[in-house]
């Protein structure tokens, strides 16, 4: 039995779940190794089924380990199939993914699977996925290398005639050309006044002089990478240089100490205190310091002031991404990805951080 299936069954036993219905695509991929956004898994203590439709069945049979999952193509509605399977097995408590199942889907499963009590599965998949094994980290690193190579190839292509949307598209093209399965999220390429929005949308206008922020990621094996670099279009004035070094100082202060056992809250605090200590930047770092990265671009844990007493563990992969955003003026963010290891941490981002003027 796969380690993941064994771990899930351990948690199911602990929580009193006789069966779990997996409908979220990332959890589907995590559990059975096959990516089907419309696939469903039904897992009990002694059986596991991968329900696939005709579009995916051939690949599913090839890629899913038959020692763990029986691959089936239901000829009836999924809810009805699940009911028939569970009624025969004697399962009484079926857990569903309350984080992602829609209210409508839940109602329909409740109606169809009337032999079971349906209960929310809570954080079981978050808890499993938060700790990455070597294979998973390898995927994230490979995606990150592609993103870095693509950024390096993009820089010489930037001219004052380029639009933000062109540069975003160009970066996405380069990542795919370099072997990425897709993009981690819609690429952010925002210049000038548009850079003051942390998640600004690229505009179909020529890039403005001043800061230009690129936030982007590649994908390998379903795993994401995430990085941000801010460059200057034209020459940086003194105020811009000061702002850039402040963001970098805040980031480096965290990167110097981040590691196993450190408090999530404290990591955020370190960066925030450095930025807030400057009256001109106080309150201008309006988002949290970082987030976990894996099969989803934003996942647990979150490095934020609301993190409570949570701590970093060996196996976490998190971003460290402070920024300063001055409304109506401009903004700057620098983001690296860090792998927390036994007693330490490894920065997975190799891309240089000296201020680049274009």
Q: How far is the CB of 4 from Mn ion (least distance, A)?
A: 25
Nearest CB to Mn ion, comparing residues 124 and 270: 270
**Measured distance CA(284)–CA(271) in Å, rounded:** 12
**Measured distance CA(101)–CA(192) in Å, rounded:** 40
Residue 109: φ, ψ to 5°? -65, -40
Q: How far is the CB of 289 from Mn ion (least distance, A)?
A: 10
Q: How many residues bind Mn ion (CB under 5 A)?
A: 2
Q: How far is the CB of 162 from Mn ion (least distance, A)?
A: 24
Task: Convert residues 113-132 into a mask of x (bound to Mn ion by CB under 5 A) and - (unbound).
Answer: --------------------
Residue reference for tokens 């032999």 = 115
Residue reference for tokens 């998190």 = 318
Specify the stretch interacting with Mn ion by CB under 5 A; choose among 104-112, 136-144, 224-232, 256-264.
224-232
Q: How far is the CB of 355 from Mn ion (least distance, A)?
A: 20
Q: HSE-up of 319 (CA within 13 Å, CB side)? A: 30
Q: How far is the CB of 256 from Mn ion (least distance, A)?
A: 20
Q: How far is the CB of 118 from Mn ion (least distance, A)?
A: 34
Which residue pairs, CB below 8 angstroms and at least 24 apart, start in 50-56?
51/78, 51/81
Nearest CB to Mn ion, comparing residues 121 and 345: 345
- Residues 278-337 binding Mn ion (CB under 5 A) are 319
H or E segment and range at residue 257:
helix 238-257
**Measured distance CA(107)–CA(113) in Å, rounded:** 10
Angle at 261 between CA 137 and CA 97, to 5 degrees: 60
Report the residue from 26, 164, 226, 268 that binds Mn ion according to the rule CB under 5 A.
226
Q: How far is the CB of 186 from Mn ion (least distance, A)?
A: 13
Nearest CB to Mn ion, comparing residues 217 and 222: 217
Dihedral, CA atoms, 341, 346, 348, 353, nearest 10 degrees?
150
Residue 63: φ, ψ to 5°? -100, -20
Nearest CB to Mn ion, comparing residues 86 and 289: 289
Specify the stretch interacting with Mn ion by CB under 5 A; choose among 60-68, 218-226, 274-282, 350-358.
218-226
Nearest CB to Mn ion, comparing residues 23 and 184: 184
H or E segment and range at residue 120:
strand 117-120
Nearest CB to Mn ion, comparing residues 85 and 227: 227
Torsion region of 351: left, alpha or beta (phi above 0 gives left; psi -120 to 50 gives alpha)? beta
Nearest CB to Mn ion, comparing residues 41 and 171: 171
Binding-site ranges for Mn ion (CB under 5 A): 226, 319
């Amino acid at each position: 039995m796969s380690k993941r299936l064994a771990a899930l069954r351990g948690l199911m036993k602990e929580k009193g779940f006789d069966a779990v219905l997996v409908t979220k695509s990332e959890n589907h991929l995590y559990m059975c190794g096959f990516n089907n956004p419309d696939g469903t898994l039904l897992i009990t203590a002694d059986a596991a089924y991968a329900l696939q439709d005709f579009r995916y069945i051939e690949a599913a049979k090839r890629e899913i380990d038959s020692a763990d999952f029986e691959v089936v193509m239901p000829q009836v509605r999924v809810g009805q199939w699940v009911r028939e399977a569970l009624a025969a097995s004697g399962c009484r408590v079926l857990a569903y993914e309350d984080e992602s199942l829609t209210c409508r889907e839940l109602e329909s499963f409740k109606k169809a699977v009337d032999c079971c009590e349906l209960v929310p599965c809570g954080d079981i998949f978050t808890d499993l996925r938060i700790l990455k094994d070597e294979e998973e980290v390898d995927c994230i690193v490979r995606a990150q290398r592609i993103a870095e190579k693509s950024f390096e190839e993009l820089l010489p292509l930037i001219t004052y005639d380029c639009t933000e949307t062109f540069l975003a598209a160009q970066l996405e093209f380069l990542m795919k050309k370099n072997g990425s399965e897709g993009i981690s999220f819609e690429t952010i390429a925002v210049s000038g006044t548009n850079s003051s929005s942390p998640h600004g949308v690229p505009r179909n206008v020529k890039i403005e002089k001043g800061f230009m922020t690129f936030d982007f990621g590649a994908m390998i094996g379903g795993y994401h990478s995430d990085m941000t670099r801010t460059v200057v279009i034209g020459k940086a004035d003194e105020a811009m240089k000061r702002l850039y070094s402040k963001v970098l100082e805040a980031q480096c202060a965290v990167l110097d100490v981040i590691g196993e056992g450190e408090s999530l809250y404290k990591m955020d605090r370190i960066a925030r205190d450095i930025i807030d200590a400057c009256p001109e930047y106080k309150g201008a770092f309006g988002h949290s310091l970082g987030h976990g990265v894996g099969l989803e671009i934003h996942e647990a844990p979150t490095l934020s002031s609301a993190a409570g007493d949570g701590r970093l563990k060996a196996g976490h992969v998190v971003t460290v991404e402070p920024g300063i955003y001055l409304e109506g003026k401009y903004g700057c963010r620098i983001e690296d990805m860090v792998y927390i290891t036994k007693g330490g941490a490894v920065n997975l981002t190799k891309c240089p951080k000296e201020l680049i003027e274009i």
